[in-house]
Amino acid sequence: MSPHVAIVTDSTAYLPQQEMERHGITAVPLTVVLGDAALEEGTEISARSVAQALQKRRPVTTSRPAPEVFAAAYRAAAEAGASGIVSLHLSAEISGTYDAAVLAAREAPVPVRVVDTGMVAMALGFCALAAAETARSGGTLDEAVAAAEKRAQGTAAYFYVDTLDYLRRGGRIGTARALLGSALAVKPLLQLENGRIELREKVRTASRAIARLEEIAVDRAGTAGVDIAVHHLASPDRAALLADRLRERVPGLGELLLSEVGAVIGAHTGPGLVGVVVSAR
């Protein structure tokens, strides 16, 4: 086993399985609590199950991984020959996952650099891929961290939800903002800003909201080389149409990924989510 830098992330990165396997990326699962059952994201519960539960108004909550789960992932990476580990996670402003990773890193058998990317979904996934590509080419621990941080700085995430109620219930957006976003039956557009979910603007209809997402993404991309991810929850037609429009309109488009979000993000956004991530290459 030759020494290498290993990449660990969490299940909210929503990386395609083939990309994780190709780069040897490990994703530590968060937990979704549905009724009395605590289920691991990605293996024990689907986003569609969460969407159905929310539509039936069943209680759904989420929780971070225990530090012991991260510790096991770090040990496994060290046993596989890693000389160091970069552990990249969703924003600490919206989850305790980063804190759990920091606790586990203190006892790891090899150096672990834990990074709060301030991102989520493929905004996080693109950071993990950047770190993995650097490590794969022989980069050091510091170089892999720097690659992830640079990718995070050049990445933006915007999304539409049918209602802010789910984000409000989970404490991911303040009650005042939720009430503001729900006023006059307008449809909210949100963005990740400084690791927090912020209300960007309000539009009158869902179709207009998706059209605005398209314009925002095209403006953000400009003519530079970018990768884009389009996410959704129980809204495949809207997402596919948005993805097709972006393929036509973004001149510097590299990779475009279209996927349904997982159970954890779905629990906080509710059915109808459509999101777009624009990440400078």
- Local structure of 66: helix, strand or coil: coil
Residue 228 in contact with residue 277, Cβ under 8 Å?
A: yes
Side chain identity, residue 203 = V
CA distances (Å), origin 10, targets 28, 114, 187: 4, 12, 30
**What are residue 211's DSSP bridge partners?**
none
Q: pTM for this structure?
A: 0.91
**All domains in the chain, ordered by first residue:** 4-30+65-153 (3.40.50.10170), 155-280 (3.30.1180.10)
CA angle 254, 259, 262 (to 5 degrees): 135
pLDDT tens track, the chain, 281 positions = 456 999 999 999 999 999 999 999 999 999 988 888 888 888 777 777 887 887 788 888 889 999 999 999 999 999 999 999 999 999 999 999 999 999 999 999 999 999 999 999 999 999 999 999 999 999 999 999 999 999 999 999 999 988 777 776 655 555 445 444 454 467 889 999 999 988 888 888 889 999 999 999 999 999 999 999 999 998 999 999 999 999 999 999 999 999 999 888 888 888 889 999 999 99
Among residues 168, 169, 141, the alpha carbon closest in space to that of 6 is found at 141
CA distances (Å), origin 26, targets 10, 55, 61, 76, 86: 8, 32, 24, 10, 11
> Order of strands across the sheet with 196-203?
196-203, 187-193, 155-160, 274-280, 226-232, 253-260
Listed in sequence order, the residues at least 6 apart from 69 whose beta carbon sits closer than 8 Å to its beta carbon are 28, 29, 100, 104
